[in-house]
Amino acid sequence: MVTSSAPGKVYLFGEHAVVYGEPAVPCAIERRARITAERRGDDRLRVNATDLTLDGFTVEYDGDATGTPDVDVAEPLLEEGMGYVNEAIEQARDAADAPDAGFDVTIESSIPLGAGLGSSAAVVTAAIDAATRELGVELDAAEIADRAYHVEYEVQDGQASRADTFCSAMGGAVRVESDDCRRIDDVPNLPFVIGYDGGSGDTGALVAGVRDLREEYDFAADTVGAIGDIVRQGEQALKAGDLEELGELMDFNHGLLSALGVSSRTLDAMVWAAREGDALGAKLTGAGGGGCIVALDPDDGTETALRYTQGCESVFRAELDTEGVRVES
Ligand code: PMV
C-alpha cells in the first residue's frame, strides 16, 4: 500500500490564454490531494473518495468503467472524477508494464472540486505516483507531469494545457508556454488569500466560449494576446519581488478574463471585496464561471472583507507549496 500526495494550485496569471500558446504562471499551494493505492488480487479498480466536497461515495467497477454506479452524486461530476482516476491507473499500468494490475484507490482531498484550484490535476498526479510505486516503479516528477497531462487531455477531450499537471507535479511557481514547462526559482513570499463561492465552472464550456469569441472577433484574439503580455510583465515583477506590481497586473488580468466572459457575479463580487479590503490585487483563478478567486494581501483586510461578502462561502490563506508530488508512506 502506498500513499502519495500532490498540491493544488492558483493561477497567478494566464489561464485561458495558455490554451492558445501564451505563457501562464500557476503556483502550487499548500492544499493537497492524498491518494492511497493498494494492489488487488484481480484486475478491478475500486475507488473510495471521502471528501471531494461531495457527499462521500464508493464506486466499484472494472477497468473500462462500464455501467453507471448507483450513488447520490451528480452523474457528470462522478463520471469525470472516475475518468481521471481510471486514466491515471492506466498510465501507471503502462509505466510499470502491468496491464492487468487491479487496485483499491482511496482519495482524500482538501482541494474543492472544479473550483479553479487544480483538484483533478492533483488527484491524477498523486494517483500515478502512488500506483506506479505500488507496482515497484519510481517515476521522476517530469514523467509524472507528462503522463498526468495526457490523462487530462484525454478526459477533457483535448481541452487541456500542461499548466495544472506540471505545477502539481513540480510544486512552487512554474511557467508554462505550450510544451515548454519550467520551474521559476527565487520566488518571493506570496501572501495568497483565496475566496470560494462554493460552486464550480464547466471548464470545457468556458474554454469553448473563449475559443468562439477569439474566432469571431479580432479584439477577442487581441485580448488573449494582451493576457500573454501581462504574464510576461508579471514574470519581471515576480523576479524583482515587486508585490505591488504583481497585484496591479492581477487586477488587469481579471478585467480581461471578465471581458472574455469567464467571470461570474460572485467571482466579481469577491474580487471587488478583496480590492476594497486593500488587497494588492485580485483575480479569478482557473477556468472561471464560479469557484475561487485569489488575492494578494499580507494583512488581514482581504480575509475580513471576504468573510462579509455575500456569495463567498469560505476564505482561507494558502502558502506557496514548494514541494510537488511526494510519497507520504
Ligand atoms: O479550472 P482549472 O483549474 O481546471 O483551470 C483551467 C485552466 C484553463 O486555462 C482554462 C484550461 C487549461 O487547461 O489550461
Q: CA–CA separation, 314 vs 301, rounded Å? A: 15
Mutate to test the pocket of ligand 1, among 10, 31, 159, 161 (most ligand atoms within 8 A of CB): 161
Q: Between 259 and 58, where is the model more confident? A: 259
End-to-end CA distance of the chain: 8
318 pLDDT more than 90: yes
164 given a catalytic annotation: yes
- Cα-to-centroid distance, 159 and ligand 1 (Å): 9
Identify the pLDDT of residue 74: 56
pLDDT, mean of residues 228-257: 98
Q: Which range among 70-79, 134-143, 199-208, 236-245 shows the weakest confidence by mean pLDDT? A: 70-79
CB 139 within 8 A of CB 95: yes
155 in contact with ligand 1, CB cutoff 6 A: no
The 10s digit of each residue's pLDDT in 178-217 is 999 999 999 999 999 999 999 989 888 999 999 999 999 9
Identify the pLDDT of residue 118: 93
253 in contact with ligand 1, CB cutoff 6 A: no
Q: Report the amino acid identity of residue 324.
A: G
pLDDT category, 77, cuts 50, 70, 90? low
160 in contact with ligand 1, CB cutoff 6 A: yes
Phi and psi at 183, nearest 5°, equal -80, 150
The 10s digit of each residue's pLDDT in 116-132 is 999 999 999 999 999 99
Q: CA–CA separation, 240 vs 190, rounded Å? A: 13
* Residues of the chain above pLDDT 90, percent: 81
Identify the pLDDT of residue 53: 45
100 pLDDT more than 70: yes
Residue 94 corresponds to which cell in the numbers above?
Answer: 503502462
CB 294 within 8 A of CB 316: no
Q: Which one of the listed residues 129, 146, 164, 197 is annotated catalytic?
A: 164
Ligand 1 atom nearest residue 201's Cα: 1
Q: Between 145 and 75, where is the model more confident? A: 145
β-sheet with 292-296: strand ranges across: 281-284, 292-296, 192-196, 314-318
203 in contact with ligand 1, CB cutoff 6 A: yes
Identify the pLDDT of residue 140: 97
* Residues of the chain above pLDDT 70, percent: 91
Q: CA–CA separation, 322 vs 292, rounded Å? A: 21
- Cα-to-centroid distance, 243 and ligand 1 (Å): 24
Identify the pLDDT of residue 75: 62
The 10s digit of each residue's pLDDT in 267-286 is 999 999 999 999 999 999 99
Q: Report the amino acid identity of residue 16.
A: H
User: What global pTM score does this model have?
Assistant: 0.91
> What Rg do the C-alpha atoms of the chain give, in angstroms?
19
Mutate to test the pocket of ligand 1, among 10, 13, 15, 174 (most ligand atoms within 8 A of CB): 15
Residue 203 corresponds to which cell in the numbers above?
Answer: 471548464
CB 170 within 8 A of CB 323: no
Q: Look at the block and give the residue holding cell 506590481.
A: 245
- Cα-to-centroid distance, 5 and ligand 1 (Å): 20
162 in contact with ligand 1, CB cutoff 6 A: no
Ligand 1 atom nearest residue 207's Cα: 10
Ligand 1 atom nearest residue 163's Cα: 14
